[in-house]
Amino acid sequence: MSMESISLPVLSKNTLCVVVPLEAILFDSDGTLCDSDPIHYYAFREMLQEVGFNGGQPITEDFFIKNISGMHNDELCRVLFPNWEFDKAMKFMEDKEDMFRRLASEQLKPVNGLDKLCKWIEDRSLKRAAVTNAPRPNAELIISMLGLSSFFEQLVIGSECERAKPFPDPYLKALGALRVSPEHAFVFEDSVSGTKAGVAAGMPVVGVVSRNPEKLLTDAGATFAITDFQDSKLWEALEELERNQSG
């Protein structure tokens, strides 16, 4: 058979077809399921100013994005307070998380289109897990408030793994629990560290541009980026994936 007679499918730039057949979708929580970063930013800004961080000047949103967003608390202790005793730094982090949960319980809202995407996943009986660097109480609060406690089959916490994101361990743990190969799953992420973790675990990552700039996510390895779960780029990619699954 000549090459001219072979009809190859034309794939879009924003393709997810490498995961055919699709068996599972994995989600980060903070900033991906809900736009929680403004609440984290506010809590960090207020509490860091109280302890005299940055000479008592409030941190900027740009500083938060580049130095705080997506990291786990053990790492943040070393980044923000290199001269503090670890226990003192962790106490600050725990107090900050308490403040976040108080604010989140009043202000948390899902990312646009989340309900539509969850229904699409449920209708196709795909496996799903939430994989996050957030402390377990935060992740459980977010998932509960969004009405997703019964939606997620697994919840994997970065600090409960040998290594948290940006290492692949949390995503690999989720795949193992779901009994799915990385060749048949993809990830939704909003942070650089989470994107790197998903890519390192061998999966395509769809970046959710809730706060982090699109270029940061694509530079970290995201296949493409969306503004929210209503973005036409996402639904075109899912429709293309379904055509290839049935083809």
For residue 58, what is the DSSP state? P
C-beta atoms surrounding 7 within 10 Å: 6
Q: Report the 10 Å Cβ neighbour count for 48.
A: 22
- Helix %, strand %, coil % of the chain (to 5): 50, 10, 35
What pLDDT was estimated at residue 247? 59
Q: What is the pLDDT of residue 37?
A: 87
Are the C-beta atoms of residues 105 and 144 closer than 8 Å to each other?
no
Residue 74 to residue 204: CA distance in whole angstroms: 27
Report, as residue numbers or ranges, the catalytic residues.
28, 30
The alpha carbon of residue 24 and the mean position of all alpha carbons in its chain are separated, in whole angstroms, by 15
Q: Give residue-wise pLDDT tens across range 187-242.
A: 999 999 999 999 999 999 999 997 788 999 999 999 999 999 999 999 999 999 99
Give the pLDDT of residue 65: 87
With tokens 């900033």, the residue in question is 31
Strand ranges of the sheet holding 24-27, from the earlier edge strand across to the other edge: 154-157, 127-132, 24-27, 185-189, 205-208, 224-226
Domains and CATH numbers, the chain: 20-36+110-246 (3.40.50.1000), 37-107 (1.10.150)
**Both structure tokens of 222:** 């995201």
Q: What is the rounded CA–CA span in Å between residue 32 and residue 46?
A: 23
pLDDT < 50: residue spans in the chain: 1-11
